Amino acid sequence: MEGFRRRTPEELLYTIFQLQKGRLKIYIGAVSGSGKTYHMLREGQALKRQGIDVVLCAVSTMQRPETARQLEGLERIPSIHWMKGDAEKKDLNLEALLQRNPEVVLVDGLAHRNREGAAHATRLEDIKALLNAGISVITTVNVYELEGATELARKLTGIEIKETVPNDTLELADEVRLIDATPEAILERISAGHMKASYRSLYERGNLGKLRELALRLVAEGVNETLEKHREENGLLGPSGAAERILVSVQYHWNGSIYVRRGQQIAKRLGGDLRIVSFVNPRVQLSNEAAAFKRSIIQLTAKVDGQFEEIPLSRRRMLPRELVHYAARNGVSRIVMGHSKMSAWQEWRKGSVVNGLLKRIRNVDLFFVADRADREGERILPTKSKREKETERYRRLSSLEVEEQIRKIRRGKFKVYIGAAPGVGKTYTMLREGNDLLKRGIDVVIGLLETHGRQETVAQIGELTVIPRKATSYRGSVLEEMDLEAILARNPEVVLVDELAHTNVPGSANSKRYEDVLELLNAGISVISTMNVQHLESLNDSVEQITGIRVRETVPDRMLRLADEVQLIDVAPSSLRQRMKEGQIYELGKVDQALRSFFKTGNLIALRELALREIADDVDERLESWERGGSLRGPWRRQETICVAITLSSNAERLIRRGFRIAHRLKAAWYVTFVQPGHQSEEETRLRLEKLLELTVRLGGKFEVQRAEHGKSIAGLLIAKADEYGGTQIIVGQSGRGFWHRLRHGNVVRTILRRARHMDVLVVADYDRHARLIEE
């Protein structure tokens, strides 16, 4: 009905004003030297070639050669120079810019403070004046200059930041683009003399990593807000698949704080939001004890940065339905609650909340917190892990360990450029880096390049030597692949290899291109490669949930962990779609179809958020390996063992990938167990089990097959095997079996929930992109 309401005069005037207002784009980076000014100037050059009137003012290249080259041909409006102590400052010449009235102004340093007596106190106010005059602005800012991040940056690095901009500054922008740079790349620029470190402590490796993660997560949060708004406008409910939102359901009871703490640990480790909800009967007054527990839960929720909500509920039997509806409305991806304490008879007589949820919920996982009081005593926080024994440092390495260390020393360096989608500029950036290395006297060649006819990318080949491809006959056709033997024979210092996830022609030495890359690295040749986030093996299900497309070519997550550097190439969805429309990504004949399918705005927003969060997590993992307690999420101190229970259903791969991602985040050992019922023949299951075994091993897990004489013994075998492994969490899939099957063979999920209350249990929901989130 809202679409038919007549706009008020004020709304009409505001809409007309917005039409005449300039456009604001902000390039954000972790620190100075990330490449923000370079990309801003490069965009200015591209706009100028399109006939847009572009000028620049108060832009500082810091005498970086590649940045200074981007100034050529751009009109400069002289800035106002003044001294602050020994430092020279540049203010925008606002009067001259308004008089010149260009279409676009390029300006550095969004957080800059103007001289005394200037028309405005800050550059942000100057920029707002330009926007109101119909002049678009492209500018730059460092993450630690945003007020919301300044205090965190100070705690992380010890640096006091004097010039800042308000929290909501990024919300003013029509477009925000992150310029990601690894600590290694920035330190290399400093050592090569291409930039100077303004604050020495700021440019320590660990601090660069922390600020990089902060920038990635900050931009991811902004993208998430955009995604939620887009989904709301299009009437989409439930989790997006790009981010986690954890909902903890509590009662005003002594164990409520345990569940809140557990939910907070999960949300923090998975980089998700946290919500706490309690359903209460408004007609029943809280006891003094319950009121005290309520106050303590509200205080704890505020302490862990969660959101608390109390919802009236008159009948307990309605709780599953209301909880599912609440999860749907709020985009929850996982519900956290305690195990049921009732017996099977009590559940039948009084009604079971757990069974009600399992029956109704779709696309939302259920996490049941272990009742460890009997075995371990009541404990809210995880215990600290034992520190490395002092004697371990003096232990002599075995011959095998020595060989492994030598192999690592000889191995080539591996760098990966990753993006949210095709066309973001991964190959372009890889080629640019290759040419930079070539100019510094490093022997660089192109092993495999896919330009897709993009002339801007072709132009970046420059002086680089291209190793000819190897022609291979297959089914009457001649196909070309990377010539691995030729590259090994040529033995360059660095080889550029595009599209890491590519599947080679049958009959090739290796079935996958990443396996070719491993051979090159083991031969001592460094590799720079590219891939899109949707090709990461463990994200396969999330990508299908977002796009509706099952990506067939994947790369094991260990390849990203193997990389010495992983750098994100970030582009806003609107810019990417514009590139597509202009034929810069695919041929014009394929554009309309791409824009209607994979390149839909909602897909691109979600994939961008997925990529930002994935690389933020990767940075966090590296920080933890560099220094204890150095990551933003903090160390995970509980020793975990993850046990994944699977069937032969199509959901098995999804459970294995989920088990891997959870185990990886918790630094836990993980096992996959399949219990083969007596009525299934070995031949019937052999081929399927081989695929599941291959996936488990590829992701670093251990796979085991058990036998059961009867279906009703499956749950007991799974629990016994988890206990044998020292399991702390069992992962199972949501049961899709009918009533008569459950009656004859038993309900595995419900039996595990009843008999494994000493362990956390995660029930992974079946996902159907076209199904309703809930069943009435």
What's the mean pLDDT in 28-42? 93
* Band (358; pLDDT cuts 50, 70, 90): confident
Residues 431 and 73: their CA atoms lie apart, in Å, by 24
Averaged pLDDT, 411-435: 95
CA nearest neighbour of 774 among 365, 363, 354, 362:
362
pLDDT in tens, 647-670: 988 889 999 999 998 888 888 899
DSSP string over 284-351: SPPPHHHHHHHHHHHHHHHHTT-EEEEEE-S-GGGHHHHHHHHHHHTT-SEEEEEPP---HHHHHHH-
What are the distances in angstroms from CA 70 to CA 43, 202, 332?
Answer: 9, 27, 46
Nearest to residue 427, comparing CAs of 500, 519, 512, 534?
500
- Record the pTM: 0.80
Confidence check: pLDDT of 228 > 80 = no
Contact present, 523 and 412 (Cβ < 8 Å) = yes
Q: Which amino acid is at 229?
A: K
Look at residue 736 in the predicted model and tell me its pLDDT.
Answer: 60
How far apart are the C-alpha atoms of 125 and 285, rounded to whole Å? 53
383 against 166, higher pLDDT: 166
Residue-wise pLDDT tens digits, 453-476: 888 899 999 999 999 999 888 887
Which tokens sit at 287? 């006891």
Residue 743, pLDDT score: 47
Residue closest to 43 by CA, chosen among 32, 33, 54? 54
Among 63, 61, 30, CA closest to 199: 30
From residue 722, alpha-carbon distances to 375, 582, 699, 727 in Å are: 16, 55, 19, 5
Query: In the structure, what pLDDT confidence band is assigned to residue 379 with cuts at 50, 70 and 90?
Result: very low
Average pLDDT, the chain: 85
Could you read off the pLDDT of 239-271 as tens digits, one per residue?
A: 666 778 999 999 898 888 889 988 988 888 777
Of the listed ranges 148-157, 356-365, 739-748, the one predicted with least confidence: 739-748
Q: What is the pLDDT of residues 306-343, one digit of tens each?
A: 999 999 988 878 888 999 899 888 889 899 998 887 66
Which of 523, 525, 543 has the alpha carbon at shortest distance from 535? 543
pLDDT of amino acid 91: 95
Q: What pLDDT, on the 0 to 100 scale, is given for residue 637?
A: 54
- Residue 196 in 3-state DSSP? coil
- CB-based burial label for 686 (10 Å; 0-12, 13-18, 19+): exposed
With 60 as the cut, is the pLDDT of residue 375 above it?
no
* R_g (Cα) of the chain, nearest Å: 28
Indicate if the pLDDT at residue 510 is higher than 80: yes
Using the predicted structure, report yes or no on whether residue 774 has a pLDDT greater than 50: no
Split at pLDDT 50, 70, 90, the class of 347 is low
> What is the DSSP code (8-state) at residue 65?
H
pLDDT (tens digit, 9 = 90+) per residue, 85-133? 888 899 999 999 999 999 999 999 999 999 999 999 999 999 999 999 9
**Which H or E run includes 612?**
helix 601-626
Instruction: Label residue 12 by pLDDT band (50, 70, 90).
Output: low
Strand partners for 472: 479
Helix (H) or strand (E) holding 156: helix 147-157
Band (pLDDT 50/70/90 cuts) for residue 175 is very high
Helix (H/G/I), strand (E/B), else coil: 740? helix
Query: 172, 193, 212: which is closest to 31 by C-alpha?
Result: 212
- Of 454, 508, 479, 565, the closest CA to residue 186 belongs to 565
Q: Distances from the Cα of 739 to the Cαs of 359, 733, 736, 745, 746, in angstroms?
A: 11, 17, 10, 10, 10
Q: Residue range 509-536: average pLDDT? A: 95
Name the residue among 179, 192, 181 with its Cα closest to residue 439.
192
pLDDT at 769: 47
pLDDT at position 197 is 66
> How many residues does the structure list for the chain?
776
> What is the bridge-based pairing of β-strands 245-249 and 641-646?
unpaired
Report how far residue 373's alpha carbon sits from residue 169's, in angstroms, rounded to the nearest whole number.
48
Nearest to 510 by CA among 534, 481, 478, 530: 481
CB under 8 Å to 224, separation ≥6 — which residues? 242, 243, 609
